[in-house]
């Protein structure tokens, strides 16, 4: 009597000599996947119909862009001192908000990390709070704080701080959970309490990652602070909104160039600090 595996081998055509066996046929997608794809396509088609997206509007776009560019050159720098003062306010809003957010993110991350939280349900609760803070855009936070504390830089600082807590708190918590157990267990074996373990093992091992994330938050906050000014949260955004409202495209373009320069300088500063921390050898390509 022939063994079943032998019969299956006899029915399977052998691969040509020197060639790999043919791959198995792709399986049909599951019904749930098909339903999701059909649903997404339906939403996309419905959106195209409801949003009045037409070819005529797309063809008019180059003409409108050319009108903006022709009116933007040369940039108007007559009010440069006022713009520089507003840009400085934007940088200060971003810096203060980022510092507050980063400082508050550290204890939040320690409570959210599974290996440092004093109570597991507390970690889940803090993670839910961080996710909620991160899910709401910073522009919405700015509108909320403008209503709460009034127009001005304070609303922008609070909006930036809340946004940074939600963003940095998550990455800080994930980095804390990746810390090696060796130094932690070594300190715990000596009878050290939880605070000593955090200060002596967890934070030193996470410091480089914390710094890189904080610098990225600062870059992100500078870009975000320019937008927050458009809703009355202080900074250069208010000047940009006024210029576009009055169709002063040369003034608006001068402000855009100033924002571009500041953001590029912030990125270069972040890269320089990162190189200093990691060292030139770490960033050199391996041969």
Query: Once rounded to an integer, what is the mean pLDDT over residues 252-256?
Result: 89
Q: Give me the pLDDT at residue 93, please.
A: 93
Residue 256 in contact with residue 223, Cβ under 8 Å? Answer: no
Query: Once rounded to an integer, what is the mean pLDDT over residues 231-244?
Result: 85
Q: Give me the pLDDT at residue 39, please.
A: 93
Tokens at residue 15, please?
A: 């691969």
Q: Give me the pLDDT at residue 283, please.
A: 52
- At 48-92, the pLDDT tens digits run 788 777 777 778 888 888 888 888 788 887 888 888 898 999 999
Q: Give me the pLDDT at residue 181, please.
A: 82
> Distance between CA 174 and CA 159 in Å, rounded?
23
Residue 218 in contact with residue 266, Cβ under 8 Å? Answer: yes
Tokens at residue 241, please?
A: 């909104």
Residue 54's CB is within 10 A of a number of other CB atoms, namely: 10
* Residue 280 binned pLDDT confidence (cut-offs 50, 70, 90): low
Give the chain's length: 287
* Residue 26 binned pLDDT confidence (cut-offs 50, 70, 90): low
Domains of the chain: 80-278 (1.10.3720.10)
DSSP 114: T
> Distance between CA 152 and CA 229 in Å, rounded?
8
- Using the predicted structure, report yes or no on whether residue 95 has a pLDDT greater than 70: yes
- Classify the phi-psi angles of 191: left when phi > 0, otherwise alpha if psi is within -120 to 50, otherwise beta: left
Highest mean pLDDT out of 15-24, 101-110, 241-250: 101-110
For tokens 């029915």, what's the residue?
11
Tokens at residue 88, please?
A: 């400085």
Q: Give me the pLDDT at residue 278, please.
A: 64
Residue 178 in contact with residue 113, Cβ under 8 Å? Answer: no
Residue 104 in contact with residue 165, Cβ under 8 Å? Answer: yes
Q: Could you write out the DSSP letters of every residue in 179-238?
A: S-HHHHHHHHHTT--HHHHIIIIIHHHHHHHHHHHHHHHHHHHHHHHHHHGGGTSSSHHH
Alpha helices per DSSP H over the chain: 4-11, 31-50, 55-72, 80-112, 120-135, 138-149, 153-177, 181-189, 194-197, 203-228, 236-245, 249-278
> Distance between CA 119 and CA 1 in Å, rounded?
64
> Distance between CA 115 and CA 93 in Å, rounded?
34
> Distance between CA 49 and CA 278 in Å, rounded?
52
Tokens at residue 53, please?
A: 């997206």
Grouping H, G, I as helix, E, B as strand and the rest as coil, residue 110 is helix
pLDDT > 90: what percent of the chain? 26
- Using the predicted structure, report yes or no on whether residue 109 has a pLDDT greater than 60: yes
- At 175-226, the pLDDT tens digits run 998 888 888 778 778 877 878 888 888 888 888 888 888 988 998 898 888 8
| Residue (of 175, 122, 155) closest to 233 by Cα position | 155
């Amino acid at each position: 009597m022939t063994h079943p595996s032998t019969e299956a081998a006899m029915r399977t055509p052998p691969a040509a000599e020197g060639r790999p066996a043919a791959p198995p046929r792709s399986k049909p997608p599951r019904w749930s996947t098909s339903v999701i794809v059909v649903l997404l396509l339906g939403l996309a088609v419905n959106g195209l119909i409801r949003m009045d997206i037409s070819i005529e509007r797309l063809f008019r776009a180059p003409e409108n862009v050319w009108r903006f560019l022709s009116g933007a050159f040369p940039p108007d720098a007559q009010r440069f001192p006022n713009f520089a003062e507003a840009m400085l306010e934007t940088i200060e809003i971003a810096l203060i908000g980022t510092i507050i957010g980063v400082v508050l993110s550290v204890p939040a991350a320690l409570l959210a990390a599974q290996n440092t939280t004093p109570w597991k349900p507390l970690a889940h609760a803090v993670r839910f709070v961080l996710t909620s803070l991160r899910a709401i855009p910073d522009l919405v936070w700015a509108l909320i704080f403008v209503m709460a504390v009034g127009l001005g830089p304070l609303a922008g600082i609070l909006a930036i701080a809340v946004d940074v807590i939600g963003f940095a708190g998550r990455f800080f918590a994930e980095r804390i959970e990746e810390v090696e157990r060796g130094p932690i267990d070594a300190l715990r074996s000596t009878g050290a309490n939880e605070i000593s373990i955090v200060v002596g093992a967890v934070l030193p091992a996470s410091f480089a990652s914390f710094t890189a994330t904080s610098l990225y938050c600062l870059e992100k906050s500078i870009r975000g602070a320019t937008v927050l000014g458009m809703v009355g949260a202080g900074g250069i955004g208010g000047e940009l909104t006024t210029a576009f409202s009055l169709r002063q495209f040369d003034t608006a373009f001068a402000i855009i160039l100033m924002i571009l320069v500041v953001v590029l300088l912030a990125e270069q500063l972040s890269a320089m600090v990162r190189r200093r921390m990691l060292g030139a050898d770490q960033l050199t390509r391996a041969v």
